[in-house]
Structure 1
Amino acid sequence: MVTQLKFNTTNRSQFFSTVRQRVNAYFKDNNLSPNANGAMWTKAIFFVTGYFVMYGLILSNQFGSWAMLGMALAMGMFAAFIGFNVSHDALHGAFSSRSWVNKWIGYSFYFIGASPYVWKITHNVVHHTYTNIPGHDDDIEIAPGLIRVDTDEPVRPWQRYQQWYAFPLYSLASISWVFRKDYMKFFKKTIGSYDNSGHPRREYIKLFVTKAAYYIFFIIIPFLVLDLTWWQFALGFVLMHIVEGLVLGLVFQLAHVVEGTSFPVPLEGIGIDEAWAVHQMRTTANFAPDSDLAAFLCGGLNRQIEHHLFPKVCHIHYPVIANIVRDTAHEFGLPYIENPTFSAALVSHYRLLKELGKEAVPSPVPESVEVTV
């Protein structure tokens, strides 16, 4: 039997009720929907169109191998941006007020070889509830045994170098998703404290059918159609996913695994001794909040604080509600963790990995000191 991890609700924080009331008032007073607006729809169409244009140009077989490689790399980036800007909002129910619209737009996740059903469990339910809690948040188990973010985890000698090898590992995120991760997560009986058994029969069928479709459209058909050697095709496919994986991996890590964020350990018999929303403020960070480019490309995930508090609000609105969240957090004496630029967040992530891995560095043996009397 799985024991559910609980947050402290005895003295429920007034922070969340206050900030939620203020955000709701903003939308009501300005007669705005919290869902997608025209700019959001335009952005979604841009990324989906760019992805399929790259795919069509490659399959046209009218270009040289170097040109096709460039298109494959661009396609990898477009795939990541679809995940951030289109699928992510839809799977949270933020794209539209109509559930069937969110459902169908969420199917865009299949374009990048990932399962919407598995994502909604591991991300929407588990990660958003148990953010940064070791043993419960599956998203911070980046590469168990290789990357250490839990201070209670045993230290391995090689982790003294994790600040260097973590980044190449992130680039494998997408290819792992396509061939390994979804299957592994789907068949795990538990994910943290979440009971992951008893999937509907239709989800078994959808998992295998959609994975097969991805393999057909992105491996078999291109391999048969393109005038490339097997190794040229394999290189292009792998590099496309390396680019996609690196973009995906970096954005998600810079939101939770940076200096200032906490990784709370549940108290036995108590759980997490604070309210859920307060927990989110301590475990989540923004980066490049004033960058229009970051907001455009990252689907608002550069403003993870707003996203974690209001996952059903479309990310196109985050820049405005961020002011409300920040002011309310300060009013209640809560942290509002931000790195001003992408590079600052990257450096902070590097430093945290180095700090968490430095225990693997042997302490220098002190030289013997001769004492004379």
Structure 2
Amino acid sequence: MAAWDLADFDDHEGVHLFRDRASGLTAVIAIHSTALGPAAGGVRFWHYADRTDAVTDALRLSRGMSYKNAMAGLPMGGGKGVILADAARTKTPEMLKAFGRAIDSLGGRYVTAEDVGISEADVGIIGSETGFVSGLPVGEGAAGGDPGPVTARGVYLGVRAAALEALGTDDMAGVHVAIQGVGSVGGGLARHLARDGAKLTLADVNADRAKALAAELGAQVVATEAIIGVEADIFSPNALGAILNEHSIPLLRTGVVAGGANNQLATPADAARLHGRGILYAPDYVINAGGIINVALEYLGQGDRAEVDARVAQIPERLRAIWAESAANGRPAADVADAMAQRLIGRA
């Protein structure tokens, strides 16, 4: 099936497939829109059972980056890279350098950074072959570096905003939050919430990681397949996407969904399913914009860490605007956010 026949092809400006036999690189770079600037979005290193799934992931993620950058007020478009890993997750410097050359061949239309499976050190290797990278190590107080902690901070602020909207308070003491995925973002969120006295239930595909964090924070642990059904004030998905669907949404026992995972809704229809159940939803590309704000300002040279923090602090305001419009017109919050973003990139 051709890329433009896939359900998630959304008039993408480009879908680029790369193969470097010498290094073993197989990769996809999807550019959704450059209406506001170069297409910015990290590169994911992941094993896919079917290569078509990798293209679909790149399409969904790049569209999400268009919306995320637009809603964050950044002069950047939306793109995403995916490096297809083998079953053993073999990753070599030669492979990363080949990906850097692939980026460079696009002449600046795509700018990369960290994503799942890619570290700050990996980005440094990619950057040895191209200047179209961000998320590189930076000095104290500068914008840039690992985007994970900044994303976690923005999600934390968004969770507090959701608590205020749905529960009437942003004092998180005693508020029960079920967190799916406790990597860089989910783990950072859990630590922020623990300091506020929140009650936490954690789950992660890496059970040892979840148990270690739970021991550190005094939290509970459940199996990954059980977390979505935990009775809690807030469910916070911070792992991979498409976890909210026709089968999982009926299992939710919460009034709020607010987390950092990308593409949480499996299909557009799932926005209506959440809305129909009266569940407040924080659109993922709005609440998790902290990381791209950080690395975009690094790449653009437009401010320091104080500027990053000031922009991340605007995330709750954007969420409140979405929820207010949703309440006024009865449309799901996800649909309201999509319409706002589409107007910003000229695709209304």
TM over 0.5: no
Q: TM-score, normalised by structure 2?
A: 0.28
Q: TM-score, normalised by structure 1?
A: 0.27
The structure in which a higher percent of residues are strand is 2
The structure in which a higher percent of residues are helix is 1
* Bigger RCO of structures 1 and 2 (CA < 8 A, at least 6 apart): 1
